[in-house]
Amino acid sequence: MNKTLSVALALLGGYVLQVSLAPQLAVFGVVPNFMFLVVVTIALTQGPVSGGVAGFVGGLVFDLLNAGVVGPFALVLAVVGYVAGALNANLFAEGWLLPVTVVAVASLATEVSYGLILAVLGTGPQFWDGLLTVVVPSVIYHTALAVILYPLLARLLRTERPMKSFRRLA
């Protein structure tokens, strides 16, 4: 399958999951962000450029879903997608631990950055109030979902099927 088509289908699937399934999976008021998980998986399997572009598109779609300011999540997710994609050449073992760790760190960076931007814009809750009630539970939730979703989505997005060296993961 074409790389662009597979990325577009993954983003579309993330959108559908975000709109239809995510509100029903809320735990203690924390809703999973499937667009974030799809973007990080795209970044880890396709590289920094695809991760950045997918992050911008996915973040823009996520911003348009919310009734708030348009643009902050697109900026944050584009940067996180690019940085996570820069790691794709350095992932050198098959397995799930390293990608899940990248998701955890990326989730923390995403939630903190997005919270700071919303606090600066004056549209979100106070940053320190949301740290323990939103950021920490979101990181735990995204990490747990990555254990399940990353291997499935990475298999669909992988461009080269046989792995001849330990250079790449997913």
Q: What is the pLDDT of residue 118?
A: 85
169 part of a folded domain: no
146 part of a folded domain: yes
94 part of a folded domain: yes
Q: What is the pLDDT of residue 160?
A: 63
pLDDT per position as a tens digit, 29-60? 899 999 999 999 999 988 899 999 999 999 99
Q: Which domain holds residue 147?
A: 3-157
167 part of a folded domain: no
53 part of a folded domain: yes
Q: How many separate domains does the chain show?
A: 1
- DSSP conformation letters of 102-149: HHHHHHHHHHHHHHHHHHHHT-S--HHHHIIIIIHHHHHHHHHHHHHH
- Residues in the chain where the model's pLDDT stays below 70: 1, 89-95, 124-125, 159-170
**What is the CATH number for 33?**
1.10.1760
165 part of a folded domain: no
Give the predicted TM-score (pTM) of the model. Answer: 0.86
125 part of a folded domain: yes
28 part of a folded domain: yes
Question: Which residues, at least 6 apart from 136, have a Cβ–Cβ distance to it below 8 Å?
Answer: none
